[in-house]
Amino acid sequence: MLSSRVHKISAGVACLVAAFAGAAVSASAGANSTADVPTFREFESSTYVDVDGAYVVNGDEAVSTRAELRRFYDRMVGTRTKDNGLVVNTVGGRDDRWSAAQAVNLTYCVSTRFGTRHADIVAAMSAGAGLWEAATSRIDFAYVPAQDASCNVRNNNVLFSVEPVSTSQYIARAFFPSTAKRQRNVLVDDSIWSSGTWEPGDILGHELGHTLGFRHEHTRPESGTCFEDNNWRPLTPYDASSIMHYPQCNGSSADLEFQASDAAGARALYGS
């Protein structure tokens, strides 16, 4: 059960990642080996479209529109530098992060549509948020239970919502600080309760890492696989055991635990 679940996670998460990596490697190998690079149309048709219309890329990251997907694709098959744990997402060369004032007031609700699992999600969110909050006093997530009954992306009383989803494509999905409010939610599938050695609090800790602006650690060249793109800036030395590193991408940690390097990266971006 455990291994089949983990395999399922790996397959679901890695299928898109593998396609990206193939495209990037072929593009960087020179003009003679571009045959393996998918056209944008092929890439688009192979990209999962979520229940809210968002394209899901890199396993668990939402892209709002087809135009943004096109830009993502262009970056993917474009330049790939050889040089260059935690890395921050960049948009137009600038860090994708919250302001200092917003970072200590990251409000969220947890949808009552989780039903009998609502209290469990609340606890897992608290655990995941606590990982980053313990790293620096400059980061503070704030649960607003009064908004749980209308907890969705249209609720402007919270910064983001945590909502259930039913999908075989991922365990959970998140967003970046630059993501438009209409797609600023963390979607959680029931498989979070049967994900083997990945504890729910760590899974949501990973997703909350994205909401703070942190990219997958395995996009760094040191991982040797699962390359995504170059739109990030390193904050710490590479760490194969980072909570932001998929274990199945040559990671050195099987359990998705939060590392000292993750705390260091959070302090590097938001202050200590």
Residue among 60 and 239 whose Cβ is closer to Zn ion? 60
What is the nearest approach in angstroms of Zn ion to the Cβ of residue 59? 6
Q: Which of 264, 251, 192, 262 minimizes the C-alpha distance to 218? A: 251
CA 117/CA 129 separation, integer angstroms: 18
Give me the residue whose beta carbon is nearest to Zn ion: 60
Residue among 133 and 228 whose Cβ is closer to Zn ion? 228
- Which residue(s) pair with 160 in the sheet? 108
Considering only the stretches 35-43, 57-65, 145-153, 194-202, report the one whose residues sit in contact with Zn ion under the rule CB under 5 A: 57-65
Q: How many CB atoms lie within 10 A of CB 107?
A: 16
228 makes contact with Zn ion (CB under 5 A): no
Residue among 27 and 192 whose Cβ is closer to Zn ion? 192
For Zn ion, which residue of 60, 96, 163, 239 counts as binding (CB under 5 A)? Answer: 60
262 makes contact with Zn ion (CB under 5 A): no
Q: Which of 195, 190, 250 minimizes the C-alpha distance to 219? A: 250
Residue among 147 and 183 whose Cβ is closer to Zn ion? 183
Q: Which pair of tokens denotes residue 47? A: 């990209």
What is the nearest approach in angstroms of Zn ion to the Cβ of residue 182? 20
Are 255 and 197 within 8 A, CB to CB?
A: yes
CA 139/CA 11 separation, integer angstroms: 33
Residue among 58 and 147 whose Cβ is closer to Zn ion? 58
Name the residue type at position 40.
Answer: F
Q: What residues line the site for Zn ion (CB under 5 A)?
A: 60
